[in-house]
Amino acid sequence: MGGKFEARKVTAISKINPVTSWIRFDGDIYAQPGQFVMVWLPKIGEKPFSIAELNPLGLLVVDVGPFSHALQALQVGDSLWVKGPLGQGFSITGERLLLVGGGYGSAPLLALAKKARAQNITVDVCLGARSEAGLLLSDAFLELGCQVSYATEDGSLGWHGLVTDIVEQKIQAIAYDLLCACGPTGLLSALSNICKTHRLDNQLSWEAHMRCGMGLCGSCLVSQNIDELLPVGWLACYDGPVFYQKFRD
Amino acid sequence: MKHDPDISVKLGRLSLKNPLVLASGVMGTSPELLHRVALSGAGAVTAKSCGPTLRTGHPNPVMVAWEHGLLNAIGLTNPGVDDEVKLLMDAKQRLNPLNVPLIASIFAGSAEEFGEVASIVAEAEPDLVEVNISCPNVHDDFGLPFAADAKSAAAVTRAVKQKIGGIPIAVKLAPNVPDIGRIAKSVVDAGSDVITAINTMPGMVIDVDAAQPVLHNRSGGLSGPALKPIAVRCVAEIAQFVDVPIIGTGGVLTGRDAAEMMMAGATAVGVGSALWYRGPDAIKLIKAELQDFLRENGYKSVCEIFRKAL
């Protein structure tokens, strides 16, 4: 069970843009793509992170506050503590996947794309952000042989508008077996509706304020007010973060 | 044809479909989560404790598993009693059709303040109000728990009883006292209708690689399997001192654990950490196992095992 902390050493740390680092650790993690870990830095704090790479464990860290700032200041050889893997991740079904990432939501999708490509599954990726600088990991998806489309709200790269626009276009043009997505709640709600209309099976990774990460404190409830398709009392840390919605047999 | 054993119990004035009660603190204060646990088959559900005002709780880490249990210091996160009343009303509407009683839980910093919180929480008309005088994780804000001393425990009980408007109350006791039976007697004499025993046990887990306590609060409340023998002893001792029903809580993970707690003198059985060990539907599993245990041992009713080991 994943309820204990385990020390891990940083083996590599690289900046992928001015505020975002890729941190790699010693050793693999036996997890599904989409599962997450709680990361503890003694005397500083603890936060949840989705797993961006399984072999070896890798995390995408964006400098948004004191904790992520401290993580980015780590040096190769430093230790941090990891609890997990926790929750339910993505489960690949079918021959053709559409992955949709909003901003930093592309991190867990990279681990998923890697696993799917290893099984020779066709993977199309739609990435959306406010501007080009917010589109993350696109080279990594391309290296895996994914077809990648972009949408930016300011039009700085790809489609000028919302990522849901290009998702609609792709779904109408191509018969996907499954849509997997990670990103802000508004994006996921919109995708949930699009999939409902097209009766497309989907797995959406919801974000919520996590505290214990162990299904006990109740902080990470994703309410039915956010998506009526969720069951009553759905916990992002235990039942999720990924929710499976099936329309087809 | 063999009939299923009767597992309904009377907890004072309350009728419970089965003895399994969601322990306070687990799943927080959200009506949707209490609803979910009720749907999983709980006999009653307890909301997380609320106090006079909003508390965000302690910074992370707030919970960790260790070899024989869990350790947590959430820090009484709650929206404050005024907002909690609205949540309890919503929860009650969800639970009523399921015939699952709602237990509210309150805490405060003084006997007088306990009375004030009690008078507000009573507006939601919960079926029972648990009086949490034993949280081990808020010393910095509230000092020594009232549960540590028979006189203070009785003073809080009287204050709540005066303001609660006839709703039955259950004072929740701490395990780390020299004489829990005497403390139980003093709160029952002061008007407690039910006893909840026990709260978590103060503990600390240090990560030796980090050379630091794991929890941000440094110490926390120990629960899970390691707590069970402590809870069973406390319940057995309380059952010798008082006649009121006891909600026996601490480390119950299986139907046999629940039977053990009842044999020690518990009328109902709190379930908390089991939701980590066995998932959010733990109560459904424990209930089926309790029924199996009763059937296999020829008991027709769960009442037959009550106090059987005393």
Sequence spans of domains, chain B: 9-305
Q: How confident is the model at residue B72, as a pLDDT?
A: 95
Which residues fall within 8 angstroms of residue B140, CB to CB, at 6 or more apart? none
Which residues fall within 8 angstroms of residue A154, CB to CB, at 6 or more apart? A130, A131, A160
Q: Tens digits of per-residue pLDDT, A20-77?
A: 999 999 999 999 999 999 999 999 999 999 999 999 999 999 998 999 999 999 999 9
Domain A5-86 is classified in which CATH homologous superfamily? Translation factors (2.40.30.10)
Q: Tens digits of per-residue pLDDT, B136-160?
A: 777 766 777 888 899 999 999 999 9
Closest CA to B170 of B102, B116, B247: B247
Smallest Cα distance from B207 to chain A, Å:
8
A 111-140 residues with CB < 8 A to B: none
Per the annotation, the verdict on B135 as an active-site residue is yes
Q: Can you name the residues that pair with A234 across neighbouring β-strands?
A: A222
Q: ipTM value of the model?
A: 0.90
Among B60, B211, B272, beta carbon nearest to A211: B60
User: Are B279 and A238 a contacting pair at CB < 8 A?
Assistant: yes
| Alpha helix segments (H runs only) across chain B | 31-39, 81-95, 111-121, 139-142, 150-163, 180-189, 228-241, 255-263, 274-277, 282-296
pLDDT surpassing 60 at residue B282:
yes
Where along chain A do its domains lie?
5-86, 96-245
| Chain B residues touching residue A231 (CB < 8 angstroms) | 36
Say whether the peptide bond before residue B79 is cis (omega within 30 degrees of 0): no
| Chain A residues touching residue B279 (CB < 8 angstroms) | 215, 238
Confidence grade of residue B236 (pLDDT, cut at 50, 70, 90): very high
- One CATH from 3.30.70.240, 3.40.50.980, 3.40.50.80, 3.30.70.260 for A96-245: 3.40.50.80
Confidence grade of residue B1 (pLDDT, cut at 50, 70, 90): very low
Confidence grade of residue B2 (pLDDT, cut at 50, 70, 90): low
CATH of domain B9-305: 3.20.20.70
Among B209, B214, B276, beta carbon nearest to A79: B209
Q: How confident is the model at residue A153, as a pLDDT?
A: 94
